[in-house]
């Protein structure tokens, strides 16, 4: 029972059997899935994640839940979306789900991105599956009147996922790829320096590449700009209890250990050790 005057307990996350609405391929490697879920799950914010209990694909048995970032959430319709790369047992299992199937999800979990009221333009730099994590920033920034330039990196042009989502929300999208020879950090640094010089970078947001993180950290220090990074780390519980996701961070010159699932997954870019 709650003490007098104590507000009623409000869970921040929970488990549920969400109903799959669609789960369709978007390229040779990625799938886009939407589920109908509770208001709590649909209240998830950009940068937060869910622990998904992936069904077993034929002949395999995924152990532990798999962390998956929020790709979209609509509290009005009670839906959340995921964009995932099929890499191993768990995601192969996810790929077997079809409309009407149930997906056991735990979430929303972790601390997501923050957008400061004074910012007018932000730069989003992502690579690979990190583009899924950054995707929901497109809608969140537009809703706050913040302009976005998205530098989206991948091995090949067809793997630049999230580009349509950013464009729909009015962002300028610059795709850089290995196959076109445009994605190495030195070339991305040239793009970033141009954006900074044009006054179009009040903050950096990044996920998916240690090399691109280093470039942004260096520019953030040089120009005194803030930044946030969503860290990807293998996880077990996702709830801060098992310490399997601990990484080192540099906080004010001291090495500090933090749990990516509990203290993050979004961190101040200056603290991150790539």
Ligand X SMILES: Cc1cc2nc3c(=O)[nH]c(=O)nc-3n(C[C@H](O)[C@H](O)[C@H](O)COP(=O)(O)OP(=O)(O)OC[C@H]3O[C@@H](n4cnc5c(N)ncnc54)[C@H](O)[C@@H]3O)c2cc1C
Give contact residues for ligand FES (rule: CB under 6 A).
235-238, 240-245, 259, 261-262
Q: In terms of CB distance, is 59 or 181 closer to ligand X?
A: 59
Among 41, 46, 57, 67, binds ligand X (CB under 6 A): 67
Determine, following the binding rule CB under 6 A, whether residue 46 of this chain makes contact with ligand X: no
Determine, following the binding rule CB under 6 A, whether residue 235 of this chain makes contact with ligand X: yes
d(CA 85, CA 87): 6
Q: In terms of CB distance, is 83 or 219 closer to ligand X?
A: 83
Q: In terms of CB distance, is 15 or 36 closer to ligand FES?
A: 15
Among 41, 68, 148, 154, binds ligand X (CB under 6 A): 68
**Among 35, 162, 154, residue whose Cα is nearest residue 99:** 35
Residues 83/70, Cβ–Cβ less than 8 Å = no
Angle subtended by helix axes 185-197 and 210-223, to nearest 10: 30
Q: In terms of CB distance, is 55 or 240 closer to ligand FES?
A: 240
Residue range at the interface with ligand X (CB under 6 A); choices 19-27, 188-196, 214-222, 230-238: 230-238
In eight-state DSSP terms, residue 97 is -
d(CA 129, CA 153): 10
- Non-local CB neighbours of 221 within 8 Å, separated by 6+ positions: 270
Residues 164/187, Cβ–Cβ less than 8 Å = no
Name 49's bridge partners. Answer: 69, 109
Determine, following the binding rule CB under 6 A, whether residue 88 of this chain makes contact with ligand X: yes
Residues 175-214 that bind ligand X (CB under 6 A): none
Instruction: State the residues that interact with ligand X by CB under 6 A.
Output: 49, 62, 66-69, 83-85, 87-91, 129, 132-133, 232-235, 265
């Amino acid at each position: 029972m709650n003490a007098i005057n104590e507000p009623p307990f409000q869970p921040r996350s929970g488990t549920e059997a969400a109903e799959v609405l669609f789960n369709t391929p978007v390229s040779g490697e990625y799938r886009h899935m939407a589920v109908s879920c509770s208001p709590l799950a649909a209240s998830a914010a950009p940068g937060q994640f869910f622990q998904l209990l992936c069904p077993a694909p034929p002949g395999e048995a995924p152990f532990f839940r798999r962390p998956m970032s929020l790709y979209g959430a609509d509290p009005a319709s009670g839906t959340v979306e995921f964009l995932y790369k099929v890499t191993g047992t768990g995601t192969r299992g996810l790929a077997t789900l079809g409309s009407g199937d149930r997906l056991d999800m735990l979430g929303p979990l972790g601390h997501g991105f923050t957008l400061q009221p004074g910012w007018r333009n932000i730069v989003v730099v992502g690579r690979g599956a990190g583009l899924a994590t950054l995707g929901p920033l497109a809608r969140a920034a537009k809703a706050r009147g913040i302009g976005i330039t998205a530098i989206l990196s991948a091995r090949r042009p067809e793997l630049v996922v999230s580009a349509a989502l950013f464009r729909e929300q009015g962002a300028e999208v610059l795709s850089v790829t290995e196959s076109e020879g445009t994605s190495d950090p030195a070339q991305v640094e040239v793009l970033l320096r141009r954006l900074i010089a044009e006054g179009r970078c009040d903050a950096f947001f990044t996920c998916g590449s240690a090399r691109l993180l280093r470039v942004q950290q260096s520019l953030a220090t040089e120009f005194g700009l803030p930044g946030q990074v969503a860290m990807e780390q293998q996880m077990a519980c996702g709830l801060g209890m098992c310490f399997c996701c601990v990484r080192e961070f540099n906080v004010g010159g001291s090495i500090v250990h933090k749990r990516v699932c509990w203290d993050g997954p979004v961190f101040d870019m200056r603290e991150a050790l790539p």
